[in-house]
């Protein structure tokens, strides 16, 4: 804040994911308020959101081959061969 108490506008650029997340939170809040008849409508409904990259950050934790290897019985045990 400046010495006069006025807020200095934030000029940072937010990532698309941050904008979508913030709009989603606001939309949920206003949906809740609409259900409780605290407000007449959701002002966020008409706001266009940045495009979503559905594949962003999504990749399987393990490949199929890695999962099969983990599921297979061990080749050996610490105490040697067991029957």
Domain contains 31:
yes
Is residue 23, in this structure, part of any structural domain at all?
yes
In a domain, 45, yes or no: yes
Residue 83's pLDDT band, with cuts at 50, 70 and 90, is low
Range of the domain at 31: 14-50
43-64 pLDDT, tens digit each: 999 899 988 877 656 666 778 8
Which pLDDT value is given to residue 55?
Answer: 64
pLDDT digits (tens, 9 = 90+) for 1-57: 455 567 766 767 888 888 999 999 999 999 999 999 999 999 999 899 988 877 656
Number of domains in the chain: 1
For residue 26, being part of any structural domain is answered with yes
Q: Does some domain include residue 4?
A: no
In a domain, 57, yes or no: no
Nearest to 25 by CA among 15, 37, 35, 33: 33
């Amino acid at each position: 804040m400046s010495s006069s108490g006025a807020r200095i506008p934030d000029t940072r650029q937010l990532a698309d994911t941050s904008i979508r997340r913030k709009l989603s939170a606001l939309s949920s809040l206003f949906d809740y308020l609409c259900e409780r008849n605290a407000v007449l409508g959701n002002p966020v409904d008409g706001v266009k959101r940045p495009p979503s990259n559905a594949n962003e950050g999504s990749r399987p934790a393990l490949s199929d081959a890695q999962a099969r290897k983990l599921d297979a019985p061990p080749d050996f045990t610490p105490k040697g061969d067991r029957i």
